[in-house]
Amino acid sequence: MTSLFIAVEGPHRVGKTTIAGLLATRLEKRTNKRVHLTSEPTQSALGRLLRTPESVLHGRPLALAVAADRAAHVESEIIPALDECLHVVTDRYVQSSMVLQRVDGLDLDEIWAYNQYVLPATSIYLEDDPEVMTCRLRQGAALSRLEMVGSPRRELELYREARQFLAGEDWPQHVIDCHGKDPDHIVGAIFDSLQL
Ligand SMILES: Nc1ncnc2c1ncn2[C@@H]1O[C@H](COP(=O)(O)OP(=O)(O)OP(=O)(O)O)[C@@H](O)[C@H]1O
Ligand SMILES: Cc1cn([C@H]2C[C@H](O)[C@@H](COP(=O)(O)O)O2)c(=O)[nH]c1=O
């Protein structure tokens, strides 16, 4: 089979990292083909700076830095892995900018202008009740700036708008309802959606 490039997306604490990891493990077994598991911001020096909770960058400078990290991610990591016939699973991708940079005050057209040259990904949108994610946010460590400015409910709305926008760009997209499901069942639902 041809290599898949899958982006796992969704609001803070919906379970992206958990599901991306499990999806990578099960995809490898299911297709007998290696998977490159990655995430954004990346592990580069720029990516690590962007992950700093009290990042010095806000608004437009942050949007541009995130897009630069993504462009390097695509060129130096994602395309080479696909060229080596690996599947690629990324925890966050363009849609995260189409949500988080909007929370930070930018509009969709500007965000897309910074990201329009990226490689389209088969996109998995994880959704759950906002209360579930709010509860997980309260249980965790101190909130980051963007977690404080936004909310799971607002992020869900913005993800739906991102999805409508990318449908116009012909991106393959699947919504997975995670409510009440354990990670194994969620990955099963992803396989069903992808007809794997
Ligand atoms: N299906 C699930 N059922 C119950 N708990 C879950 C499920 N998926 C993830 N969790 C738990 O929810 C918390 C957040 O999960 P995770 O870190 O994977 O989310 P995330 O979307 O990557 O978060 P962030 O946006 O903050 O990076 C973790 O404690 C994780 O164990
Ligand atoms: C991909 C992406 C990331 N960010 C910011 C938002 C958070 O501060 C971190 C991501 O951390 P998490 O542990 O994955 O929640 O990076 C952003 O602003 N825009 C983006 O596109």
Indicate which ligand has the atom closest to the C-alpha of 182. 1
Sign of the alpha-carbon torsion through 53, 57, 63, 68: negative
pLDDT digits (tens, 9 = 90+) for 7-49: 999 999 999 999 999 999 999 999 999 999 999 999 999 999 9
Indicate which ligand has the atom closest to the C-alpha of 103. 2
Q: What is the ipTM of this complex?
A: 0.98
Cα-to-centroid distance, 17 and ligand 1 (Å) = 7
Domains of the chain: 5-194 (3.40.50.300)
Cα-to-centroid distance, 81 and ligand 1 (Å) = 26
Q: Is the CB of 145 under 6 A from ligand 2?
A: no
The residue nearest atom 10 of ligand 2, judged by CA position, is 51
Pocket test for ligand 1, best of 8, 9, 17 (most atoms within 8 A of CB): 17
pLDDT digits (tens, 9 = 90+) for 49-84: 998 876 789 999 999 999 999 999 999 999 999 999
Cα-to-centroid distance, 124 and ligand 2 (Å) = 17
Asked if pLDDT for residue 140 goes beyond 70, the answer is yes
Looking at ligand 2, which atom is closest to the CA of residue 96? 21
Q: Is the CB of 13 under 6 A from ligand 2?
A: no
pLDDT digits (tens, 9 = 90+) for 82-95: 999 999 999 999 99
Q: What percent of the chain has pLDDT over 70?
A: 99
Cα-to-centroid distance, 19 and ligand 1 (Å) = 8
Give Cα separations from 90 to 57, 58, 93, 105, 175 (angstroms).
23, 23, 7, 25, 16
- Mean pLDDT in residue range 128-153: 94
Cα-to-centroid distance, 47 and ligand 1 (Å) = 21
**How many angstroms separate the CA atoms of 84 and 81, rounded?**
5
Q: In what order do the strands lie in the sheet with 35-39?
A: 35-39, 87-91, 5-9, 122-127, 173-177
Looking at ligand 1, which atom is closest to the CA of residue 183? 1
The strand pair at 5-9 and 122-127 is best described as parallel
Give Cα separations from 28 to 24, 51, 52 (angstroms).
6, 28, 31
- Mean pLDDT in residue range 106-115: 98
